[in-house]
Amino acid sequence: MADEKKKEPKPLGPQKMTLGIWVGMLFPVVLMLVIVALLFQSKGDGENDARSPFEFPLTDTQEGGSLKGGDNTEPQSRKAVRGDMEASPERTKWNYTKGQKSVYLTFDGGPSNVTGRILDTLDQCNVKATFFVCYHNPEYADVIAEAASRGHSIGMLTYSNRYDVCYTSEDAYFADLNRLGEKLKEKLGYVPFLIRFPGGSSNEGSREYCEGIMSRLSGQVIERGYQYWDWNVNAGDAAPMSADEIVEKVFSETEGDNIVLLLHDGEGKETTAEALKRIIEGFDARGYSFAAIDRETLVVHERIRN
């Protein structure tokens, strides 16, 4: 029998070869189109998140607070707050004549470990207040922005809040004030117009360091775009007092309609925090409203004695 010839595989036909080549070429192209489509879909879903943060309004959280109770109402923008509260020599209109039956709770010497408790009480009573701050306790400095985010006004004492530092000369005073202003600009985005002299404008202790300094400073601060507020009711809590004594003293001194009440929220003022709710309830029962100091508030100046 003749040997059979070994069968060799038939070459791939032209049509089959062409189909195989096309499949191999088109597959990566199709895959790439699918990937591109998925990327465009992802971009569309996250379009808002990709915007610059400057395109979003500031929320409470961004300004140092937190949203409460699911309330999505946006607070006043930081820009608007800055425009109203920032020191400016060009803004010279002040209210020296017209008051109303209001009480302005003012707290000096903080922030400290007591300030948070005071803020919580104010929130519970739905009352706004004014905090004249210094920089004794840098570890509590973030509380300043927290107070502002809750709608309270921020004013300045000086960085040191010490007579022997700020009252040796006019230059020394403004150096101490400006040092605090720089810190507040970091925290708030502006330097407040609102100030209070350490010890008030009527203090006589400054005479030990510089004769006549309060008479000169009282005009110079206004020329530079600030306004100072003294008080007309003193709770007396700079000295150690019980909560009962603080409440009694406040209402024994209260006369008239426009009350600027001096309180303290420095280190160790737990009895002030304890007395606060009773003070608020007492003024409310007497028909007073409550407000934080702003540019429309009746200015309260004491008689200068140095």
Closest residue by Cα to residue 261 from 240, 239, 246, 241 = 246
Which residues contact residue 184 at a Cβ distance below 8 angstroms, ignoring those fewer than 6 apart?
Answer: 133, 144, 154, 156, 190, 191, 192
Question: How would you classify residue 195: left for phi > 0, otherwise alpha for psi between -120 and 50, otherwise beta?
Answer: beta
Q: What is the pLDDT of residue 25?
A: 63
pLDDT of 130 strictly over 60: yes
pLDDT of 67 strictly over 50: no
pLDDT of 121 strictly over 90: yes
* 162 touches 137 (CB < 8 A): no
Q: What is the pLDDT of residue 232?
A: 97
51-55, 64-68, 115-119, 235-239: which range is least confident on average?
A: 51-55
Query: From CA 64, how far away is CA 185, in angstroms rounded?
Result: 14
* Chain segment 179-226, per-residue pLDDT in tens: 999 999 999 999 999 999 999 999 999 999 999 999 999 999 999 999
pLDDT (average), residues 271-287: 98
Q: What is the pLDDT of residue 100?
A: 87
DSSP characters over the chain: -PPPPPPPPPPPPHHHHHHHHHHHHHHHHHHHHHHHHHHHHHHHHTTGGGS-GGGSPPPTTTTT----TT--PPPPPHHHHHHHHB--TT----BSS---SEEEEEEEEE-STTHHHHHHHHHHHT---EEEE-SS-GGGTHHHHHHHHTT-EEEE--SS--HHHHSS-HHHHHHHHHHHHHHHHHHHSS-BSEE--TT-TT-SGGGGTSTTHHHHHHHHHHHTT-EE---SEE--TTS---HHHHHHHHHHH--SSEEEEEEE-STT-HHHHHHHHHHHHHHHHTT-EE----TTSBP--PPP--
3.30.390.10, 3.40.120.10, 3.90.190.20, 3.20.20.370: which CATH number matches 103-290?
A: 3.20.20.370
* 203 touches 217 (CB < 8 A): no
Q: What is the pLDDT of residue 52?
A: 27
6-10, 45-49, 101-105, 154-158: which range is least confident on average?
A: 45-49
Token pair recorded at residue 209: 């360091």
Of 83 and 63, more confident: 83
* Residues above pLDDT 90, as percent of the chain: 70
* Strongest mean pLDDT among 35-39, 93-97, 108-112: 108-112
What's the pLDDT band for 84 if we cut at 50, 70, 90?
confident
* Chain segment 137-188, per-residue pLDDT in tens: 999 999 999 999 999 999 999 999 999 999 999 999 999 999 999 999 999 9
Which residues contact residue 164 at a Cβ distance below 8 angstroms, ignoring those fewer than 6 apart?
Answer: 209
What's the pLDDT band for 258 if we cut at 50, 70, 90?
very high
* Chain segment 221-256, per-residue pLDDT in tens: 999 999 999 999 999 999 999 999 999 999 999 999
What's the pLDDT band for 51 if we cut at 50, 70, 90?
very low
* 131 touches 153 (CB < 8 A): yes
pLDDT (average), residues 8-12: 50
pLDDT of 45 strictly over 80: no
**How confident is the prediction for the chain on average, in pLDDT?**
83
Q: What is the pLDDT of residue 39?
A: 53
* 199 touches 206 (CB < 8 A): yes
- Measured CA angle at 94 (ends 90, 96), to 5 deg: 155
Sort 1 into a burial class: Cβ within 10 Å, 0-12 / 13-18 / 19+: exposed
- Other Cβ atoms closer than 10 A to 7: 6
Query: From CA 19, how far away is CA 250, in angstroms rounded?
Result: 97
Indicate whether this model's pTM tops 0.85.
no
Strand partners, 106: 130, 262
